[in-house]
Structure 1
Amino acid sequence: MPSSYEALRPERRGGGPGVDSRRDVFRLPAQSASVAEARRRVGARLCAWGVDDEVNDDAGLVVSELFTNAVRYTSSESVGCELWTDGGVLRLEISDQGYGLTEPRPRVARADEECGRGLLLVSVLSKAWGVLAAADGNGRTVWAELGLAADHH
């Protein structure tokens, strides 16, 4: 039986975006300034696709958190972002080039800590999320799925 992270891999659900889906992919330098650019690009694409403002806002937060983690906690030169809609689901994937020291896991931050709440936020905003190792062993993809309104796909 696949692990919880593996259970929702696109290959297990039918191979990623279907005929009736929309898809976008981009790569940015692994720099703090790229986080805002990633969020802007995702927001613009979702707006063009007609995704409602609430889902667009949630997707922006998720991308910001996952992209920040890839920049801050890995040895990547660039970070990839893939997003697609398929039926009632928006899937966001952030891929880095080099493993960090630990696997991404939500944790409870102390009240005086400025960081440490990002993956908790991702888990609250997403229907599901997880981590996949790159096929070649260099890097990983952290993904999240958000629900879309019934009339958006």
Structure 2
Amino acid sequence: MPSETGIAHSYGVASSNNAPLLGRCSGFVAEHPQDAFHLPARRTSVPEARRRVSALLRAWGAAQQVRDDVELVVTELFTNAVRHTGSEKVGCELALVGTHIRIEITDQGGGGASAPQVQPGSVDKECGRGLFLVGALSESWGSRPDDSGLGRTVWADLPYTAAAH
């Protein structure tokens, strides 16, 4: 369902525009703070995804290190979805569950059937470091086919701590 900004949000998921109201969205009581959005699968959408995630994490009261790490993981996964798939749009979902934040980036497919993998020697290359960084910053990460069976969701769980007041 499109919001006033024209961005589609998942049903029952609080928009980042409503981050201070995270317990309630259209009568739905969220068990955990979460947000979802879709952007066109273009390079120019990557910084927009990073800005949205940064604003959301500030609203959730995340510590600066958490914001930095999540922004980097979202940047790498979103970039991979844009570069390596034939998607028209890419979805991003964040959920705060206890002491972890779950990031899910979903593409529409068209980039081959193989799951993303860290490439050997990727630390020393200009391209290919993304998944190495995701693995280094995440407690766990992986991928699965999306609900349609055509695309793929790449997820990562990062530790969450609130900012000191």
Q: TM-score, normalised by structure 2?
A: 0.76
Matched, 1:114 2:126: yes
Aligned residue number for residue 26 of structure 1:
37
Q: Whole-Å Cα distance in 2 between the matches of residues 150 and 42 of structure 1?
A: 15
**Structure 2: gaps (5+ residues):** 1-28
Provide the aligned length of Structure 1 versus Structure 2.
134
Matched, 1:96 2:107: yes
Which residue type is aligned with residue 87 of structure 2?
Answer: S
Deviation at 1:110, TM superposition (A): 7.0
Percent identity over the alignment is 52
1:20 touches 1:87 (CA, 8 Å); kept in 2? no
Aligned residue number for residue 15 of structure 2:
none
Where relative contact order (Cα < 8 A, 6+ residues apart) is larger, the structure is 1
Q: Whole-Å Cα distance in 2 between the matches of residues 46 and 73 of structure 1?
A: 27
Aligned residue number for residue 65 of structure 1:
76
Over residues 79-111 of structure 1, what are the superposed CA-to-partner deviations in whole Å (9 max), with x where a residue is unaligned? 000001011010000000014233210112274
SS in 2 for 1:98: coil
Over residues 18-49 of structure 1, what are the superposed CA-to-partner deviations in whole Å (9 max), with x where a residue is unaligned? 95420100000000000000011001000000
SS in 1 for 2:102: strand
Q: Could you say what the CA RMSD is over the residues aligned between the two structures, in angstroms?
A: 1.9
Which residue type is aligned with residue 109 of structure 1?
Answer: S
Aligned residue number for residue 43 of structure 1:
54
